[in-house]
Amino acid sequence: MTLTPQWLDELRSRTTLSALIGRTVKVTKAGREFKACCPFHNEKSPSFTINDEKGFYHCFGCSAHGDAIRWMTDQRGLSFMDAIKELAAEAGMEVPAPDPKAAQRAEKANSLYDVMTSAQDWFVAQLQSPDGAVARAYLKKRGFTEKTIRDFGFGLAPDNRTALKSALKQYGDAMLVEAGLLIAVEGKDPYDRFRGRLMIPIRDPRGRVIAFGGRILGDGEPKYLNSPDTPLFDKGRTLYNLDKCSPASRQTGRVIVVEGYMDVIAIAQAGFADAVAPLGTALTEQQIQMLWRMTEKPLLCFDGDSAGQKAAMRAALRALPLLKPGHSLQFVTLPDGQDPDDLVKASGAKALTELLEASEPLVERLWKAEMSANPLDTPEDRAGLKQRLGVHMATITDGEIKRHYADAFRERFDNLFAQRRNAPPARYANTPKRDWRKPQILPPGAETKSFNAKGSDFLVQGVLGALLRNPSMIRQHHEALSDFVPTDPNHAALLNIMLNESFAKESLDTDGLITILDEKLYNVASTLLHSNGKVFAFNRGEFGSGGDGLSSVSKDLGEAIRLMKQRPALEEALERATRLASLEMTEETFAEQQRLRHEKKAFDDRIIAFFRRDADGL
């Protein structure tokens, strides 16, 4: 099937967008356009505009934008082809015919939809019949109202091997088997798959019945039974209640994922209409992607027992390779042994709301799971924790996200295991307190020249030394430093501790800072404090405040931090331009290489300005 741009344009032109949107959103005329409160985010003043002439909508609040087709996919949750078919039917247009085989498949699918609709009607009728008394009593005991029973289409499959088969005999055994309603066994007549079960219809995004779930009434196994995969139903690509959840999530901005359809129905009755559930399987990659189309951070609210928490962890691991900027999972921790239905019945909807608002991010769930997996008493145990966290990070495909996970795990690891001592290591304990603001003075020369060597971290050392001598400056430059990671891992670890301590303590001095370091970082800090100090201009003078609250020395330090952060990007750009020029020397590549060389030289000249180049004053 080929949908040409001309055909799609004709479809859009035959669709009155304001009327389409007006079916579910209150719209008002505003000149040549229509206005409404945006259905994609919560707002009180309308910023959502609809232009029928141009055939698009746009929200000036959240930037939602699209045409009639986009409205059907984003707001209704339909697939592209389902949106096309529905709009075409309303516009009186024929969708271009697919190839013969595809046409046969579509015809068969339409017939199967008819079968499933008939089966649903029959199951509902059985529930309301005298034979449905036990099932109705069970629903009443569970606390489901008549409205909930009607809205979610509860039905009953009688405990009879041929009841449905006989009721739908007009479709023939073959089609009932293909729909998953009968079980075919070689050498025997097909018989009803669902017997003696409370029936729950499973629908596609358009609300059409595509499968069933059945809960046993009385004793028996399995407790829950789902339809097998069919031409209509793929359980790994289906979410229960998606047809109701999708529009509800547009209003709430969230999606709640629970373990089973009974949980979905129970919390929907309590006011949480934006819930879905996988269908007897762990959350799949396809289901995670479906969730992300509705919200960036779906809330996983699995049962509080061991099985529920294991299912949550499986979902966490499955999501790691799929992570993309802004998209992740949030985890809700229920009381031990309770499911969402239990919680709502015992403590009310407010209790569930509070837990949803207290959800924790994926990175925290992974950290807690691995931290509690094994003892952490010995160095080997702690190395094992670090290794397990590394295995998780290795599965993340997005480089930027992987880096942030590394930072987050390192920070948690350091906070958990770093020695918080009130005194320095024993061999330093009797060292007299000294004025760290008067570092050993070394004449400039080789250090300054080394700045032109690729990969030099001399400025990083100078900045870290200045912050160690003047810890009050850490908080002042916290924002600029927080997203900088030195290439040397020891420097990175030291900077991370300095930033954390500056926020944890009201006042911080040099001796107080270095005493909390472990021996390795203590030695790093000591080296920085004892060398190179006055080679830098910002390490000569007092860090008092001027009229604007900043001294000139503090301003010099701020400039040094900016240069320190900019240099790696400039070096990388020059290296890339040089490599490109070597592969294809043209006027453009040569000019770009020369431009970056001049820019880097000017940049290095600015760095050298921080050095005192005449030794007379030292």
The Cα 124–Cα 30 span in angstroms is 46
Q: Which of 438, 493, 496, 504 is nearest to 470 (CA)?
A: 438
- Rounded to whole angstroms, the Cα distance separating 116 from 232 reads 10
Q: Which of 527, 533, 523 is nearest to 439 (CA)?
A: 533
b/e burial code for range 404-428 (CB count within 10 A of at least 16 → b): ebeebbbebbeeeebeeeeebeeee
Q: In terms of residues, how long is the chain?
A: 618
Query: Residue 216 in contact with residue 197, Cβ under 8 Å?
Result: yes
Instruction: Give me the pLDDT at residue 463, please.
Output: 84
* DSSP per-residue codes, 534-584: GGBGGGSS-----TTS--HHHHHHHHHHHHHHHHHHHHHHHHHHHHHHHHS
pLDDT in tens, 502-515: 766 667 788 778 77
H or E element that contains 348: none
Contact (Cβ atoms closer than 8 angstroms) between residue 43 and residue 50: no
Going from the C-alpha of 48 to that of each of 147, 192, 221, the distances in angstroms are: 33, 51, 52
Give the residue ranges of DSSP H helices in 33-158.
68-74, 80-91, 100-128, 133-141, 146-151
pLDDT of residue 41: 84
Euclidean distance between CA atoms 149 and 345, whole angstroms: 17
Look at residue 2 in the predicted model and tell me its pLDDT: 64
Residue in 212, 219, 111 with CA at minimum distance from that of residue 157: 212
pLDDT for 612: 45
Say how far apart CA 405 and CA 398 lie, in whole Å.
11
In tens, the pLDDT along 49-59 reads 999 888 899 98
Give the per-residue pLDDT at 531: 60
Write down the pLDDT at residue 422: 37
**Beta bridge partners of residue 191, listed in sequence order:** 183
CA angle in degrees (0–180, nearest 5) for 352-355-356: 85
pLDDT at 101: 65
Which residues, at least 6 apart from 50, have a Cβ–Cβ distance to it below 8 Å?
A: 17, 18, 21, 27, 33, 34, 35, 36, 57
- Alpha-carbon gap, residue 460 to 473, rounded angstroms: 15
Residues 6+ apart with CB under 8 A from 506: none
Structural domains of the chain in order of their starting residue, each with its CATH number = 5-91 (3.90.580.10), 100-233 (3.90.980.10), 255-417 (3.40.1360.10), 428-608 (1.10.860)
The CA distance from 429 to 338, in Å, is 53
Record the tokens describing residue 262, joined without a space. Answer: 């009974």
Q: Distance between CA atoms of 383 and 390, rounded to whole angstroms?
A: 10
**Beta carbons within 10 angstroms of residue 367's beta carbon:** 21
DSSP, collapsed to helix, strand or coil, labels residue 349 as helix
- Nearest Cα residue to 335 out of 308, 367, 363, 372: 308
CA–CA separation, 473 and 479 (whole Å): 12
Cis preceding linkage at 222, omega within 30: yes
Segments in the chain below pLDDT 50: 419-456, 545-550, 612-618
Tell me the backbone φ, ψ of residue 141, rounded to 5 degrees.
-65, -35
CB of 200 closer than 8 Å to CB of 215: yes
| CA proximity to 490, closest of 518, 470, 512, 509 | 518
End-to-end Cα, the chain, rounded Å = 81
- Rounded (10°) CA dihedral 354, 355, 358, 362: -160
For the stretch 569-617, pLDDT in tens is: 777 777 777 777 666 666 676 777 778 888 877 777 776 665 544 333 4
Asked if 570 and 605 count as a contact pair (C-beta separation under 8 A), the reply is no
The Cβ-side half-sphere exposure at 220, using a 13 Å CA radius, reads 13
Tokens of 593: 């290489």
